[in-house]
Amino acid sequence: MNSPDQAVRDYVDALDPAGRALFDRFAALLRAEHPEATVTWAYRMPTFVVGERRLHVGVWKHGLSLYGWSADRSGGFCDRHPHLCGERGTLKLPHTEAAGIPDEHLRDLVRATFAP
């Protein structure tokens, strides 16, 4: 059985170029906001951990999905992009829309998700 670190590496290495680019963009923004974040493996996807909070990041054919956040902790992201924010703490960021989402909107989401 792979270690959590190896499982994350294998997952990211297996992404197609578009998925890898979107994952890398989001991960870089998250790490810029929270350099103390760690990454582990949970629910068969990379999971960023800051303190007691977790954000699960899955990359699928459609794009990137975030699990483990809530609309009331979206930093205005769901107000600006309501069609991307689903029920039960799922946010879907399609490849077709990702380039049009400013980094600052994603940073706001990350800040609010991991706020104490």
Domains of the chain: 4-113 (3.90.1150.200)
HEC string of 61-103 equals CCEEEEECCCHHHCCCHHHHCHHHECCCCEEEEEHHHHCCCCH
pTM: 0.92
Question: Two tokens at 95?
Answer: 């490849």
Question: Chain centroid to CA 106: how far?
Answer: 9
Neighbours of 79 (CB within 10 A): 11
The 10s digit of each residue's pLDDT in 31-53 is 999 999 999 999 999 999 999 99
pLDDT tens for 66-107 read: 998 888 889 999 999 999 998 777 899 999 999 999 999 999
